[in-house]
Amino acid sequence: LVSRKWRVKPTVLDLGDGVTIGEGTLALCAGPCSIESEAQMEKVMNHLVENGVRLMRGGVFKPRSSPYAFRGLGMDGLRDFHRMARERGIKIVTEVMQVSQVEEMHDFVDVFQVGARNTQNFNLLDALGGVDKPVMIKRGISGTIEELLSSAEYVFSGGNEKLILCERGIRTFETASRNTLDLNAVPILKAKSHLPVIVDPSHGIGIREYVPAMALAGVLAGADGIVYETHETPETAASDGAQTLDFDESARLIRNLRRVYQLR
């Protein structure tokens, strides 16, 4: 069902209020790795509004490698995120980690993110097949393109056709970067599937200085959008500061992404 053989026309998701994801527009989604406080969100949201970015990412349930690391503000943080985003016309993209969270998060989310560690959590995918909100599925840490498409098929076949595929880098033998952003996946996914494809250069390379280059490369490879991490002071971010752009870097990237998209 997610294949081009089944549907030739590219899928474009309409999130309302003039926000779409899919062919014809460049979807830009930026925000901190983790939602930390109302003050932090206000600064990020002001930055997004100033730059015409309508989608904000930010985790309230964080999958951390260490159990002692910051694991997110949970539902309290999401309620604040939702209220502040609504006041500013911003749409929310945030990670859901388990089945029980789908229902409680539902009314506060515009796009459910399935993280790389949950790409093959088939119970979660089944649950998301039953909701009427878009789902962005990230490629598994060691997942193949075919496995990502199969995960999307779970949600689609469950009844939810509002899907976005996200290339966020895979684990390879290379240790010079956090992950290996597989830009090959972009044209391959676009050819195999009618679903929108988004690139996450932040997790893809994991090194702040190189994030803009990989974001621009993602657009030239044919991505329908980019999702990346930004924070007022990346050095103090609760998670993923080393791959997070400050607002100056973010503003420059937004300008360049729009210019590069025009060249396609």
Residue 222's binding partner among Mn ion, ligand PEP, none (Cβ under 5 to 8 angstroms by kind) is: none
Name the E strands within the chain. Answer: 13-16, 19-21, 27-31, 55-57, 91-95, 111-114, 135-138, 163-167, 197-199, 225-229
* Chain centroid, CA 21 distance in Å: 12
If the CB atoms of residues 30 and 219 are measured against ligand PEP, the closer one turns out to be 30
Shortest spacing between CB 132 and Mn ion, in angstroms: 27
Q: What is the footprint of ligand PEP within residues 58-87 (CB under 6 A)?
A: 59, 63
Q: What is the footprint of ligand PEP within residues 137-196 (CB under 6 A)?
A: 138, 168
If the CB atoms of residues 10 and 118 are measured against ligand PEP, the closer one turns out to be 118
Distances (CA, A) of 104 to 3, 73, 99, 107: 31, 14, 10, 7
Residue 161's binding partner among Mn ion, ligand PEP, none (Cβ under 5 to 8 angstroms by kind) is: none
Residues near Mn ion (CB under 5 A), total:
2
Q: Is the dihedral of CA 204, 210, 212, 215 positive or negative?
A: negative
Stretch near Mn ion under the rule CB under 5 A, chosen from 4-12, 148-156, 234-242, 244-252: 234-242
Q: What is the footprint of ligand PEP within residues 200-229 (CB under 6 A)?
A: 203
Structure tokens at 28: 């830009």
Q: What is the footprint of Mn ion within residues 20-39 (CB under 5 A)?
A: 33
Q: Which of 116, 199, 205, 253 binds ligand PEP (CB under 6 A)?
A: 116
Residues with Cβ within 8 Å of 198's Cβ and at least 6 positions away in sequence, in order, are: 21, 27, 29, 136, 164, 165, 166, 167, 223, 224, 225, 226, 227
User: Which chain residues interact with ligand PEP by CB under 6 A?
Assistant: 33, 59, 63, 115-117, 138, 168, 203
User: Which chain residues interact with Mn ion by CB under 5 A?
Assistant: 33, 240
